[in-house]
Structure 1
Amino acid sequence: MDLLTPAAALALADRHWRIHGDICALPSYADQNFRIRAEHGDYVLKVAHPSWSRMDLDLENQAMMTLAGREPALQWPRVQLAVDGEHLLTLPMAGQACQVRMLSYVPGTTYAEAIVGLPLTRRAALHESLGSAVGRLTRGLQGFHHPAADRAHNWNLLRLPTLRGEIAHIEDAGLRAIVQPHVEAFCAHLPQWRADLPITVLHNDANDLNVIVADGDGGGKRVSAVIDFGDMCTSFRLADLAIACTYAMQHEADPVACARTIVRGYLAQCPLLRAELEQLHAFILARLCHSVLMATRAHRDEPDNPFILVSQQGVRALLRELAGVGHDAIVGPFLEPSHD
């Protein structure tokens, strides 16, 4: 896709949304994103790579609009309607049709940035606010449906069985010995869990770069938003909590205590079935294994890219630690009949 210049992007924003101001390009893997500092607020113009389908982006927009209406306590990216009333435009660019939309800019820092240097005495409050935010996310998407959510997404835990062939390619024998039994056990339980555990449309990527943190009371930090809805899919309701725990725990010397606090914040907003809570540990391990297997496949495709395995250090360290932790270590205090 030919790059859109900031000047051309600003002209597009003015023409279709009547938004103008100072503009700068934002980093993006394949899409083109521009931040516009306008008189009445900041916005992000998003020009999707032509490989994105309109339905996939419609899913994201519809989810954000639903959450903005149902859970206004958090600062979800607000979808801006164009002058013709549409929330997603298909525009020709360099001979290709591209999907273009405008969102509000969400201020704050990423969780990954905010947790660095945060005193231990203030971390529990941040962990609880993370759980609360993800609980609101789950609650806000209850009953939400969209045909694109049923797509076969690589990061959907329901698709973990498709990655089993990568286990043999894990070069670290010790790590391979941990991953294999957990993946095999998860895959074996999938048919029963499909029958017993709630399945819904979920965000599927509340990682430490997609969780936004703002300043709280007394110098503390709190989660104010969850962004980037590009990995949405239909899967187990439990997965969003497991994913949030998976990434936050990597920043902590006591990951179990961290996850326990996240769970407390989550349950205050969105109670789960006892059957779901009982499987949280298995789902966290499954997400970690899923990450290892995805990275293993990516490394085979790009063996000269050192970043792939460097970025796995936290994942692999946490997986090794949690493999030796009791199944109910995190959720034990919450396994009460009141959660059914």
Structure 2
Amino acid sequence: MSAKPNFSHAQVVEIVNRLFRLTASEIRCLPSYDDQNFYVASIEGAEYILKILNSEDSKNPSLIEMQTYAMSFLHQNGLPSQTVLTTASGQLMSLEETDCGYGCQKYLVRLLTYLPGTTISKVPLTPRLLYETGKMAAVMDQILQKMEHPHLDVLQREKFIWSLSNVPLLEAYMSLLDGDPLEEVVKSVIHQYKTSVIAKRSNFRRCINHGDFNDLNVLVQPDETDGHRISGILDFGDMNSGYYIHELAITIMYMMVTHPEPIEVAGPVLAGWESVLPLNEAEKDCLYLLVLGRLCQSLVYSRYNVTKYPDNEKYLLTTAKSGTRLLNKLWELGKKDGERKWFTDAGTFSDK
């Protein structure tokens, strides 16, 4: 079983001092799905994020090394990504052993640069900001696709439940929805995915996905026009080999969950994306079902993780309430009308 880390304030102070030769002046716990994140300010005057990975992910240092390299690669190519600070002995990460209530386990620890800004979930999602979000997601995937690294193959992650290639894996978790009105919708989405999306996948363009371009992983800062600009891209833990269309579907879905009028979101995100990477016919035809597929993944797996980490229920179910309403709304709208609206809105937006 994957153990979520539960390091104490005192342990964090000791780790920061021992590994990085820094003296913490402030430490603050940050929300996280199944890892443990801390904001750290040092008396030396700098700010950092200390990330402690869950015990399961900590068993795969090659994957973490690849994610760390991807962050650095994006940063070198001008995108606002965090970079990792080496330990006093020159390592990118350290494996720390402790008992967090599950017996002695090992947890990978990294210290990341701090990016200023607030999460995009906390600001008005204007059409212009949504356009920029779609554009940023496309640029990010284009850059990631240019990476060369000896461990690139670790991103294949064939049984990774969060990959949009693996929507059918949801079937193993359907007992969590037993009797829930959502059950029939989720089953129908899985069925349509299997019958409509898989057959067209050979026409999707391959790439490396960030895989979790959500409203808590995108930072923004005010710009000179009284709007906001993207100032940070966080959390590369779900990186996997996938397809460009997957990243777009993920981005649309998470921006929808945050928005008071979710049906209005897809058009500007799609317009921003297509300003960089126009979709081909197969990708266009599958976008609606891929958005629904990701929404089903989010709703079902968050319920599953609540059974594993009941103390983290509030964070794990962040998207659940609005996500349930959104899934019903999109399902009622239907593929034909949904796609017509999205692509019409995108065309209107790009003509402005």
State the TM-score, normalized to the length of structure 1.
Answer: 0.82
Distance apart, 1:260 and its partner CA? 0.8
Question: Is the contact between residue 138 and residue 237 of structure 1 (CA under 8 Å) also seen in structure 2?
Answer: yes
* 1:103 and 2:112 aligned: yes
Question: Is the contact between residue 6 and residue 23 of structure 1 (CA under 8 Å) also seen in structure 2?
Answer: no
Distance 1:269 1:47, change over 3 A: same
User: Which of 200, 209, 227 pairs up with 1:193?
Assistant: 200
Measured in 1, the distance between the counterparts of 2:318 and 2:137 equals: 27
User: Which of 341, 344, 348 pairs up with 1:329?
Assistant: 341
* 1:141 and 2:144 aligned: yes
User: Which of 200, 206, 211 pairs up with 2:213?
Assistant: 206
* 1:292 and 2:306 aligned: no
Question: Is the contact between residue 80 and residue 87 of structure 1 (CA under 8 Å) also seen in structure 2?
Answer: yes
Please give the per-residue CA displacement for 1:190-247, whole angstroms capped at 9, x wherever unaligned. 4423311123321111111111121112321222222111122222221111111111
Distance apart, 1:316 and its partner CA? 1.8
Measured in 2, the distance between the counterparts of 1:50 and 1:180 equals: 32
Measured in 2, the distance between the counterparts of 1:158 and 1:284 equals: 12
Please list, as runs of the form range in 1=range in 2, the aligned pairs for 1:28-67 lying within 5 A after superposition. 28=32, 30-38=34-42, 39=44, 41-51=46-56, 52-53=58-59, 54-67=61-74
User: Which of 123, 126, 141 pairs up with 1:114?
Assistant: 123
Distance apart, 1:255 and its partner CA? 2.8
Measured in 2, the distance between the counterparts of 1:331 and 1:56 equals: 36
Distance 1:89 1:276, change over 3 A: same
Measured in 1, the distance between the counterparts of 2:249 and 2:229 equals: 19
Distance 1:22 1:296, change over 3 A: closer
Measured in 1, the distance between the counterparts of 2:81 and 2:199 equals: 34
Distance 1:226 1:22, change over 3 A: same
Q: Cα RMSD between the aligned structures?
A: 3.1
Distance apart, 1:64 and its partner CA? 0.7
Distance apart, 1:76 and its partner CA? 0.8
Distance 1:264 1:101, change over 3 A: same
Residue 237 of structure 2 corresponds to which residue in structure 1? 230
Distance apart, 1:267 and its partner CA? 2.4
Question: Is the contact between residue 10 and residue 23 of structure 1 (CA under 8 Å) also seen in structure 2?
Answer: no
Please list, as runs of the form range in 1=range in 2, the aligned pairs for 1:1-340 lying within 5 A after superposition. 4-27=7-30, 28=32, 30-38=34-42, 39=44, 41-51=46-56, 52-53=58-59, 54-70=61-77, 72=78, 74-93=79-98, 96-115=105-124, 123-144=126-147, 146-151=152-157, 152-167=159-174, 169-173=177-181, 175-295=182-302, 297=304, 311-323=319-331, 324-325=333-334, 326=337, 327-332=339-344
Distance apart, 1:148 and its partner CA? 2.4
Question: Is the contact between residue 36 and residue 43 of structure 1 (CA under 8 Å) also seen in structure 2?
Answer: yes
Distance 1:87 1:164, change over 3 A: same
Question: Is the contact between residue 25 and residue 32 of structure 1 (CA under 8 Å) also seen in structure 2?
Answer: no
Measured in 1, the distance between the counterparts of 2:309 and 2:22 equals: 41
Question: Is the contact between residue 218 and residue 233 of structure 2 (CA under 8 Å) also seen in structure 1?
Answer: yes
Which shifted more, 252-261 or 152-161?
252-261
User: How many residues align structurally?
Assistant: 326
5+ residue gaps in structure 2?
Answer: 348-352
Please give the per-residue CA displacement for 1:93-149, whole angstroms capped at 9, x wherever unaligned. 56654322111012211122223xx7xxxx112212211221222122114462321
Amino acid at match of 1:49: N
Distance 1:93 1:251, change over 3 A: closer
Measured in 2, the distance between the counterparts of 1:129 and 1:203 equals: 17
Which shifted more, 181-190 or 280-289?
181-190
Distance apart, 1:333 and its partner CA? 6.3
Please give the per-residue CA displacement for 1:261-285, whole angstroms capped at 9, x wherever unaligned. 1112222234443432332112111
Amino acid at match of 2:155: A
Amino acid at match of 1:206: F
5+ residue gaps in structure 1?
Answer: 336-340
Distance 1:310 1:23, change over 3 A: closer
Question: Is the contact between residue 198 and residue 237 of structure 1 (CA under 8 Å) also seen in structure 2?
Answer: yes
State the percentage of identical aligned residues. 26
Measured in 2, the distance between the counterparts of 1:305 and 1:8 equals: 20
Measured in 1, the distance between the counterparts of 2:323 and 2:342 equals: 18
Distance apart, 1:177 and its partner CA? 3.7
Distance apart, 1:259 and its partner CA? 1.2
Question: Is the contact between residue 116 and residue 232 of structure 2 (CA under 8 Å) also seen in structure 1?
Answer: no
Measured in 1, the distance between the counterparts of 2:34 and 2:293 equals: 28
